[in-house]
Structure 1
Amino acid sequence: MFRNSDLDRIRETFADQFANDPNGIVYRKGQKGAPFRISERERDEFISTFDRRIRFAWWSIIPATVAMILLMVWLIPDSHSVAADIAVWAGIGAILLPFMSVFRWAWNAPSHELQRRAPEGVAFSKAEARAFAFSKIAYSQLAIAAIIGAGLIWRKSEETDVFHGWGMVWLICGGALIGLSGIQAIRKFRFNRSHSGDQA
């Protein structure tokens, strides 16, 4: 969970909102919002600030997790009780909620700072945003996601009963990953086919 490669992917996704064009650098929130012209220095500062904030939030999960474990051991000695299961999920939520709040604040920081600046154009339409989103997704990525979902179910089925009780969580998560990958693949195929037909 705390690999540098994961942080690098998050940082790259954030940095992808800043695109080069013949006139310099343009920021589009989520790669589809209205374009704002910025300088190279501003771009570097936005990325550097996001990197610091998200890295701090990311690593703060470690002491929060340790504190949760110690608190559970102290308050709920029986780790196999219903109360322990509820406490685990409540603790996970209590840890992730602040992280997600900081992440959202850091992610939206450029748009908040640029909201008083006049944009150079309009946001992508739904069709343009959909075309851009599908262009960023490769069939190989969807296939890998489906394989990961199947592997998750297979691996957890060797450790627990995935058809009963809390074990069904792994079945649902893995099945959802497989299903979403398949749906996205079908949507991408249909969109590409209709788009190529329109161009013809």
Structure 2
Amino acid sequence: MNHRLSSAVAVSGLVWLLGCGEDSKSKEPGPLQEEAGFVLEGQVVSLDAASQAGATRLTIAWENWMRSGDIIVSQGSVAVPQSLPSAYSLRLTGEPGPGALNDLGAGAGFLGTGRIAVYQDVNGDDRFDLETEPLRGLSATHVVLYAPTVTPALLSELREWNGITNLEALVPGYQLARGVCRDGTSFDALEIVPAVPVSVVSESESDDGCLNYH
């Protein structure tokens, strides 16, 4: 799947779910993490024009692309004001929903990679359905990572993938990663970073953040 989440529109059979599981604890680096949840903050700078009626909402769109085949799981949902730019704060509790995480196979474990997405909630259910609801904006420079556990087997598989530049920073739970451009190769990479505000821009402006990592 291309780094633009919108490219998934062309893929048939996408499954969109909303999920959150039992509470889990993790540690920094990454956005603020507490027993009450994981908080991701930033600013919605620009959005594509609304093509349908409905509230504008922000969510995390987890991309399950390694082995399960283009499954997208939406987690969390907060309203976005009409007046931009506008600050947002999204709190995630527990784990991403079923099907959200990439299965690295051979018992190695799981890794989630998610984009911050803004969509038009046409049916008013606070859940994003890409097949029927317009995608209006994306985080252009950062993704959210989630690992239930970090084991030697997981790290070995991720080294083989070669998609994270600083695997030593990976810890259980949620973390933030930025896109790293790789010239002369097919794919970019991710670097785990401490907490920073993450901007969301219109889908048409979200191409240049070096997030073509798969």
Which structure shows the bigger proportion of residues in strand conformation? 2
Report 1 or 2 for greater relative contact order, CA contacts < 8 Å, sequence distance ≥ 6: 2
Using structure 1 for the length normalisation, give the TM-score: 0.23
Structure of larger gyration radius: 1
